[in-house]
Structure 1
């Protein structure tokens, strides 16, 4: 009986031992599987972390590039704005210059109209004179009235003849009616030397003749003296050759140079500017 009980106890112990070993083996297998899964997850996690870092760096790079691009776009927008402003200022400047040019052209047109009216008036009052005795022409907007010596003076003299006063009276009628002009009287001689008790040389004679004309216009015909200038040119500005009598006769002349007042001209420009406002 004791043997049977001993055998039963031994069998139970062995059976219990066998169950524990099996369970342990199962647990150990599960542990290994879990550990492998953990290792695998750790590897994947590390890979994900590395990928995250790489993507983060790419994002930072892209953000920096975008910021730089935005700055460049801002600079371009600013540059375009400045260019637009510069263009607008340039257009305004061109427009202003065009307006000034137009006003000056208008003023020149008005001055030319005044000049034309003056020439017409002079030709009207002097039209009955011979062409070789009186010439009226316009050069660069200036009116020139050239009067032959034989109409004004005797040879070598500076005293005006009665015929001269008739001619000068007609000229005075025209210039007195136009207070916006000034004029210069020029005396011209030929190159034949002259010297007398009262005349030093050709310079002296040309000046005396010019002052004689100016004085007559002032005293006899009431032309304001402040509008006149007397000048002697001697024989240094000939219009013909002094080699023959015909040429010398042309060079002996008195020339009236009619000058529009500069301030009157600028007044026309200013008037144009005022009317354009």
Structure 2
């Protein structure tokens, strides 16, 4: 009797070695999503603890979960000191302008010029407004000889212990002007600003390098030009006194 040869059917086993790195990859991805979720939390201390724990588990301490700090870096003492100095300087300049305003207001009151001169503190600095009829004849850019003393007295008020930038600006109403001297209100406003500035700078104690002049013509009104009262307010010369930044920062 022939012996039947028994054939052993061996099953083919699929190589599953790739599952190990795949599982590791999934674990790392899970850890990454946990970290990203943690970063949305306000509690930075808990996030740091979580990151440290996960780092220790997967990388032995460092590597995968190294993270940038979500907290702003502490200000260095020098930067903090610099900011304090700037704030102190700004407060000092503001106080200086307030003192100057008080001095000018006292001068206006003593000369009975309340209706013709006024002061105001703006974001830019101290603004002194002078109605044009105090200084000029109609349609003329030269300061009246009778009012040059007023310009001289104002120039003395501008002599300060800490120098400031001074911007002189001329303004008109919207009534057109055209004569042998000026083609427009713009021309008139510029020359009035320049001539008044020159009158101020006759004071040798003032530094011309800190002065500048502008002309706006009718384009920066402060009142309606539809009435004579409004046009009178618009015809003016302004003195804007601002801190000299270059000197302040030294």
Tell me the TM-score normalized by structure 1: 0.61
**Which aligned pairs between 1:164-183 and structure 2 lie closer than 5 A?**
164-183=147-166
Structure 2 equivalent of residue 114 of structure 1: 96
Distance in 1 (CA, whole Å) between partners of 2:84 and 2:158 is 29
Q: Secondary structure at the match of 2:106?
A: helix
Equivalent in the alignment of 1:195: 178
| Count of residues in Structure 1 that have an aligned counterpart in Structure 2 | 195
Decide whether the 8 Å contact of 1:187 with 1:231 is kept in 2: yes
Cα deviation for residue 122 of structure 1 reads 1.8
Gap regions ≥5 residues in structure 2: 1-52
Q: Report what 1:236 is aligned to.
A: 219
Indicate whether 1:225 and 2:208 are aligned. Answer: yes
Name the larger-Rg structure.
1
Q: Does 1:72 align with 2:19?
A: no
Q: Which runs of 5+ in 1 are unaligned?
A: 1-68, 268-277
For the residues of structure 2 that align with 1:76 and 1:183, how far apart are their CA atoms?
67
Point out the more displaced range, 151-160 or 167-176: 167-176
Relative distance call for 1:117 and 1:161 in structure 2 (3 A) is same
Higher helix share: 1
Shift of 1:124: 2.7
What is residue 11 of structure 1 aligned with on the other side? none
How does 1:1-277 map onto structure 2 within 5 Å? Answer: 72=56, 90-93=72-75, 98-128=80-110, 129-219=112-202, 221-222=203-204, 223-267=206-250
Give the secondary-structure state (helix, strand or coil) at the position aligned to 2:170.
Answer: strand
Please give the root-mean-square deviation of Cα atoms over the aligned residues, in Å.
3.0
Offset, 1:166: 2.5
